[in-house]
Amino acid sequence: MSKVTFRYRDGTAHDLDVEDGNTLMNAAFFEGLPGIEGICGGVAACGTCHVLVDEAWRTACGTPDRAEEARLAQIAVRQPASRLACQITVSPQLDGLVVTVVADG
Ligand code: FES
């Protein structure tokens, strides 16, 4: 179990305890967090799970694979910190991870 903080642009935040092996998208979706729609079910095809990974956590989160990179390339508001939450699998190394939800939710 790892703690992940989902921040929002309005200054609010939600802390979730996420099972290791679960994705950020699944955890946020099933908790009903706003701004993570997960329309494609987690296959890097919709972009509705767009998050920004805090600088300190970018290396630990790894780099996007080809499918994620292709989808991110289509996001107009993409930033260097952009990731798809469905492509980040929680592990003990990500305990304390902080991401910002891009959608207003
Ligand atoms: S849920 Fe569709 S891209 Fe992540």
Q: What is the residue extent of each domain of the chain?
A: 2-101
| Tokens 């003990």 sit on residue | 92
- pTM score of the predicted model: 0.95
State if residue 64 touches ligand 1 by the CB under 6 angstroms criterion: no
Rg of the chain on CA atoms, in Å:
12
State if residue 47 touches ligand 1 by the CB under 6 angstroms criterion: yes
Q: Please compute the mean of the pLDDT values over residues 93-98 and round it to a whole number.
A: 98
Task: Indicate the CATH number of 2-101 among 2.40.50.460, 1.10.10.10, 3.40.50.150, 3.10.20.30.
Answer: 3.10.20.30
What spacing in Å lies between the alpha carbon of 47 and ligand 1's midpoint?
A: 5
CB 55 within 8 A of CB 74: no
What spacing in Å lies between the alpha carbon of 85 and ligand 1's midpoint?
A: 7
Q: Hey, what are 41's tokens? A: 């079910």
pLDDT at res. 28: 97
- Which among 47, 48, 2 has a CA at the least distance from the CA of 21? 2
Q: Please compute the mean of the pLDDT values over residues 50-64 and round it to a whole number.
A: 97
What spacing in Å lies between the alpha carbon of 26 and ligand 1's midpoint?
A: 10
Cβ neighbours for 55, distance < 8 A, ≥ 6 positions apart: 81
